[in-house]
């Protein structure tokens, strides 16, 4: 068992924390992407536990609700993440605030509170979302355009990328459109460590460099 409330009487918190820390290595759950740092370890442990309970989507919905609450309520975010609020106060806040989430999620936040790691909440939420995106084989593509892309252009771009050798087959392309009038026209496509610059401004800059070298 992974979580504090289900095993609190049978195992001390320190032992439970070690179980979380070693879960990815010792269990049969396949982790879709390796994450590092404190937030990566906690998010990976939560992913492993949720996967074993067939509760990945439920936990993801819970965390999305938590993220929305933190964005909406600055005081809640401060109380959870600030080192000025002690561990016991944070634990009480978790018990009061997270009544409507699943047991898996609630116990995970109790563990964060017990271990004094609620200051990592936002980072853990982001890390867990990375794991879920990798689990669904989603590839996030940022497309910068001079004006907002219409749905037809966005869908066509997804199809082109999927047919190319730039993205693994059976992946799902998620297009995030950013508008920058400064590129004048065309597109700049960013994903992973790759950038495809098809902007008008880039072509003009290249032309200017050629003209400068020719003088």
Cα of first residue to Cα of last residue in the chain, in angstroms, is: 73
Distance CA 23, CA 114 (A): 18
Lowest-confidence segment of 44-48, 60-64, 173-177 by average pLDDT? 173-177
pLDDT at 215 over 80: no
Lowest-confidence segment of 65-74, 99-108, 165-174, 194-203 by average pLDDT? 165-174
Percent of the chain at pLDDT > 70 equals: 86
Residue 27's pLDDT is 52
Mean pLDDT of 46-67: 94
Q: How confident is the model at residue 88 (pLDDT cuts 50, 70, 90)?
A: confident
Is the domain spanning 4-134 CATH 2.60.120.380? The answer is: no
Mean pLDDT of 142-149: 92
**CA-closest candidate to residue 149, choices 181, 173, 178:** 178
Taking only Cα atoms into account, the Rg of the chain, rounded to an integer number of angstroms, comes to 22
**What does the pLDDT look like over 14-28, one tens digit per residue?**
444 444 444 444 457
More confident residue, 9 or 83: 83
Residue 51's pLDDT is 94
Distance CA 115, CA 102 (A): 20
User: Token digits for 185?
Assistant: 């026209």
**What does the pLDDT look like over 100-117, one tens digit per residue?**
899 899 989 989 988 989
Quote the distance between the C-alpha of residue 83 and its chain's center: 23
pLDDT at 197 over 60: yes
DSSP string, 61-86: HHHHHHHHHHHH-HHHHHHHH-TTS-
**CA-closest candidate to residue 91, choices 107, 114, 67, 65:** 114
Percent of the chain at pLDDT > 90 equals: 40
Q: Where are the domains of the chain?
A: 4-134, 138-214
pTM over 0.85: no
Instruction: With beta carbons less than 8 A apart as the criterion, state whether 132 and 181 touch.
Output: no
The mean of the pLDDT values for the chain is 83
Residue 214's pLDDT is 66
pLDDT at 96 over 90: no
| 3-state secondary structure (DSSP) of residue 191 | strand
């Amino acid at each position: 068992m992974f979580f504090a409330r289900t095993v609190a009487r049978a195992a001390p918190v320190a032992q439970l924390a070690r179980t979380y820390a070693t879960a990815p290595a010792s269990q049969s759950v396949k982790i879709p992407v390796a994450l590092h740092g404190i937030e990566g370890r906690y998010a990976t442990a939560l992913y492993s536990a949720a996967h074993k309970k067939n509760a990945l989507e439920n936990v993801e919905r819970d965390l999305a609700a938590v993220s929305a609450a933190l964005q909406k309520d600055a005081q809640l975010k401060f109380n959870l993440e600030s080192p000025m609020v002690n561990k016991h106060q944070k634990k009480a806040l978790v018990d009061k605030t997270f009544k409507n989430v699943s047991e898996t999620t609630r116990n995970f936040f109790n563990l964060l509170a017990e271990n004094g790691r609620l200051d990592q909440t936002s980072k853990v939420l982001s890390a867990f979302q990375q794991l879920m995106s990798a689990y669904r084989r989603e590839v996030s593509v940022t497309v910068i355009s001079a004006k907002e892309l219409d749905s037809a252009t966005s869908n066509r771009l997804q199809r082109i990328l999927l047919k190319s050798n730039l993205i693994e087959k059976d992946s799902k392309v998620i297009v995030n459109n950013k508008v920058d009038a400064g590129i004048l026209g065309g597109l700049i496509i960013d994903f992973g460590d790759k950038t495809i610059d098809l902007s008008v401004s880039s072509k003009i800059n290249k032309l200017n460099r050629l003209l400068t070298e020719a003088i």
